[in-house]
Amino acid sequence: MKVAVIGSSGQLGHDLMRILPAAGLEAIGFPGRLELDIANAAAVEAMLDRHRPDAVINTAAFHHVDLCESRPDDAWKINAVAVRDAAQACQKRQILWLQIGTDYVAEGWPGCRPIAETAAMCPKSIYATSRFAGDCLTLAHAPQYGYVVRTCGLFGIAGCKLKGGLNFVDTMIAAAKAGRPLRVVNDQIVAPTATDTLSRQLAALLEHQPGPGLYHAVSHGQCSWHEFAQTALNMAGLTATVEPVSSTAFAAAAIRPRYSVLDNARLRAVGLDLMEDWQTSLKRYIACKYNLPD
């Protein structure tokens, strides 16, 4: 199977490019807009006709959550309209379309059960609303070939371009090593997910093709961002004080979910839930990235 990876230079894309081949799949990478602008429908169709992939994984999006609030047109163009056009193009050519979604579309409350695919969503920002639209448009315009795989709090070796090649874990470790004060929210509950684990999960979906539709794929367990930060520092052997603060302390432009822990209910139902608990993934990540004993 030949798989085109849109956004192959990002955190998830980087791991997909090494894990898909290890799973016996051929991967063709499109690192950024210079190689393939997903907002250019004609360019996407030309790529499909030239390379004739069996599947496309779209990791590209307008990911800058707060900037979306002041640039809604760009958010909708990339996160919704472009996704619709690409999903239609894949449906027409009988190509699997895997759209990577986000937990930001969900909203529960501390202490509630993880949120399954059948639950009502509650996006509260331009970013979340535009991403939710991309989910819905995938399912509507690629009913036989469209998969939406929602995930949460990604961290991987390649890091995040928006954060200068770092991710949340790297940022916390760098700040602790530099002796900078650490203040992290303790009122947002998530299921942080490693990109290598998610990549193996996506490879399994492509291999088994259990049926199109919506799937959640996040780490097992849950934590606040504060607990995640403190655990990462402990695993890295660093002693630092992490001050727990409310989300209101940062006055971010976009509202974040208070509780967005997703339930991999559909993956379990088809016997394909390969995700790990977040502590296991985090320990492996830190050992690999920082050359520490596993």
Q: pLDDT (tens digit, 9 = 90+) per residue, 46-57?
A: 999 999 999 999
Across residues 84-100, what is the average pLDDT?
98
Residue 109: predicted pLDDT: 79
For residue 185, is pLDDT > 80?
yes
% residues pLDDT > 90 (the chain): 92
Identify the bridge partners of residue 151 per DSSP, sorted by sequence position.
Answer: 102
Q: Model pTM?
A: 0.96
For residue 166, is pLDDT > 90?
no
If you average pLDDT over every residue of the chain, what do you get? 95
- Architecture of the domain whose range is 2-158+191-220+261-276: 3-Layer(aba) Sandwich (3.40)
Q: How buried is 221 (Cβ within 10 angstroms: 0-12 exposed, 13-18 middle, 19+ buried)?
A: middle
DSSP label at 166?
Answer: B
Across residues 223-252, what is the average pLDDT?
95
For residue 291, is pLDDT > 90?
no
For residue 293, is pLDDT > 90?
no
Residue 162: predicted pLDDT: 67
For residue 161, is pLDDT > 90?
no
Residue 294: predicted pLDDT: 62
d(CA 219, CA 36): 30
- What band does 34 get if pLDDT is binned at 50, 70 and 90? very high
Find the Cα–Cα–Cα–Cα dihedral 125, 131, 132, 135, rounded to 10°: 180
Residue 119: predicted pLDDT: 95
Residue 223: predicted pLDDT: 97
- What band does 159 get if pLDDT is binned at 50, 70 and 90? confident
- Phi and psi, residue 164, nearest 5°: 65, 35
Contacting residues for 56 by C-beta, under 8 A, at least 6 apart: 3, 4, 5, 6, 48, 86, 90, 95, 96, 97, 98
For residue 163, is pLDDT > 70?
no
Across residues 224-229, what is the average pLDDT?
98
Across residues 76-94, what is the average pLDDT?
98
Residue 125: predicted pLDDT: 97
For residue 29, is pLDDT > 80?
yes
- What band does 111 get if pLDDT is binned at 50, 70 and 90? confident
Rounded to the nearest 5 degrees, what angle is found at the Cα of 287, between the Cα atoms of 215 and 185? 60
CB 56 within 8 A of CB 96: yes
**174's tokens:** 């760098």
Task: Choose the catalytic residue: 104, 127, 145, 259.
Answer: 127
Asked about 259 being catalytic, the answer comes back as no
CB 159 within 8 A of CB 226: no
Contacting residues for 230 by C-beta, under 8 A, at least 6 apart: 242
Residue 292: predicted pLDDT: 74
Tally of residues, the chain: 294
For residue 160, is pLDDT > 80?
no
For residue 77, is pLDDT > 80?
yes
For residue 107, is pLDDT > 70?
yes
